[in-house]
């Protein structure tokens, strides 16, 4: 097994992990390595083809892919070691991680380890929505990967479950894929994003908003044929061939749990101090691994508070 040593090892190559690597290098830390389990670095923004990124940290508005590429390019220009298609699957010691990649197994030891593994949307199965498992059910992340990275045909009529900021990102993605959104479903009494967004998008896209509503069934065997919602105590069927479950974020905390880090019992994120250090000395956590969910550029700014 290959073994290597670094000053800092960062797990996760989203904006907060990449920006942090650049900042630490500027502070004089030389041996830095960033790990990314996907084939391309940049995190969630790289498949969010709408604008709205970069205002807080770069003071300009950018699309998601351009925002991600900005940080990836700077990492390459700085000569920082960036390993894609590489998964940290377990701990090999207090400050060592076991990795797997196309090169085989590797054990990496670092003086400081930073977990920047992010968060993911809770899928339909974890939301206990009954029904079969037909084609046409997505999260925002899987939808955007299907549309922008894999150029897949999605459908023609969609229902979006959720009204967070990311729900409107899904709405835009569906429009780019020539899919009409016919309804957005919100369990609470009002939308979770900004009201002007709802007003503008309803006028632009012509969907119907159902608040105080829950999806109680998904119809279809091979392909989605519709959903059944309970709205104000009354069941209603909505024909559609696509359902997108949005938000309801859960931290990607598997590595943190395997390291026996002390976790917040509510958010399931690692508990950190004011400098983002976890319960294990020398191990830190940043970005959306620490819920509640935040915009990518806010995660970058927050990570600036990390101190060794």
Whole-angstrom distance, CA of residue 30 vs CA of residue 81: 10
CATH homologous superfamily for the domain 2-120+249-303: FAD/NAD(P)-binding domain (3.50.50.60)
Give the mean model confidence (pLDDT) for residues 230-248. 95
Of 37-41, 48-52, 277-281, the one with minimum mean pLDDT is 48-52
Which pLDDT belongs to residue 232?
87
Of 92-96, 120-124, 172-176, the one with minimum mean pLDDT is 120-124
As its CATH architecture, domain 123-245 has: 3-Layer(bba) Sandwich (3.50)
Give the mean model confidence (pLDDT) for residues 207-213. 97
For the chain, the domains span 2-120+249-303, 123-245
Nearest to 12 by CA among 84, 110, 75: 84
Give the alpha-carbon dihedral of 20, 75, 2, 260, to 10 degrees.
Answer: 20
Let me know if the fold of 2-120+249-303 is the same as that of 123-245.
Answer: yes
Mean pLDDT across the chain: 96
Dihedral sign (CA 277, 278, 280, 283): negative
Residue 126, pLDDT > 80, answer: no
Which pLDDT belongs to residue 218?
96
Residue 131, pLDDT > 90, answer: no
**Beta partners for residue 285, in sequence order:** 115
Which pLDDT belongs to residue 261?
99
Phi, psi (degrees; rounded to nearest 5) at 275: -105, 15
Task: Give the percent of the chain with pLDDT over 70.
Answer: 100
Give the alpha-carbon dihedral of 126, 170, 295, 120, to 10 degrees.
Answer: 20
Residue 65 · residue 46 · CB < 8 Å: yes
Which pLDDT belongs to residue 123?
84
Which pLDDT belongs to residue 125?
79
Which pLDDT belongs to residue 86?
99
Give the mean model confidence (pLDDT) for residues 10-33. 98
Which pLDDT belongs to residue 32?
99
Residue 242 · residue 226 · CB < 8 Å: no
Which pLDDT belongs to residue 100?
98
Give the mean model confidence (pLDDT) for residues 56-66. 96
Give the mean model confidence (pLDDT) for residues 40-57. 93
């Amino acid at each position: 097994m290959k073994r290597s040593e670094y000053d800092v090892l960062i797990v996760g190559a989203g904006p907060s992990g990449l920006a942090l690597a650049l900042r630490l290098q500027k502070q004089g830390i030389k041996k830095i390595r960033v790990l990314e389990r996907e084939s391309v670095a940049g995190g969630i923004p790289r498949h969010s083809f709408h604008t709205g990124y970069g205002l807080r940290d770069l003071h300009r508005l950018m699309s998601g892919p351009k925002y991600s590429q900005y940080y990836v390019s700077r990492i390459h220009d700085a000569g920082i070691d960036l390993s894609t298609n590489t998964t940290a699957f377990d701990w090999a010691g207090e400050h060592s991680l076991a990795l797997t990649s196309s090169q085989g197994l590797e054990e990496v030891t670092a003086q400081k380890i930073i977990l920047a593994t992010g968060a993911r949307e809770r899928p339909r199965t974890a939301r206990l929505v009954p029904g079969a498992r037909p084609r046409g059910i997505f999260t925002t992340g899987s939808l955007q990967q299907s549309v922008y990275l894999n150029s897949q045909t999605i459908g023609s009529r969609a229902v979006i479950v959720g009204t967070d900021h990311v729900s409107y990102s899904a709405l835009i993605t569906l429009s780019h894929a020539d899919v009409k959104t016919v309804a957005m479903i919100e369990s609470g009494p009002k939308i979770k994003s900004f009201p002007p967004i709802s007003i503008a998008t309803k006028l632009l896209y012509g969907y119907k908003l159902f608040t105080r509503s829950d999806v109680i069934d998904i119809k279809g065997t091979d392909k989605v044929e519709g959903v059944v919602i309970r709205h104000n105590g009354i069941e209603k069927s909505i024909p559609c061939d696509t359902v997108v479950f949005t938000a309801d974020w859960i931290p990607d905390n598997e590595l943190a749990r395997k390291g026996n880090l002390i976790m917040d019992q509510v958010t399931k994120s690692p508990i950190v101090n004011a400098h983002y250090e976890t319960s294990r000395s020398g191990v830190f956590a940043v970005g959306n691994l620490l819920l509640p969910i935040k915009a990518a550029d806010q995660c970058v700014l927050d990570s600036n508070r990390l101190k060794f």
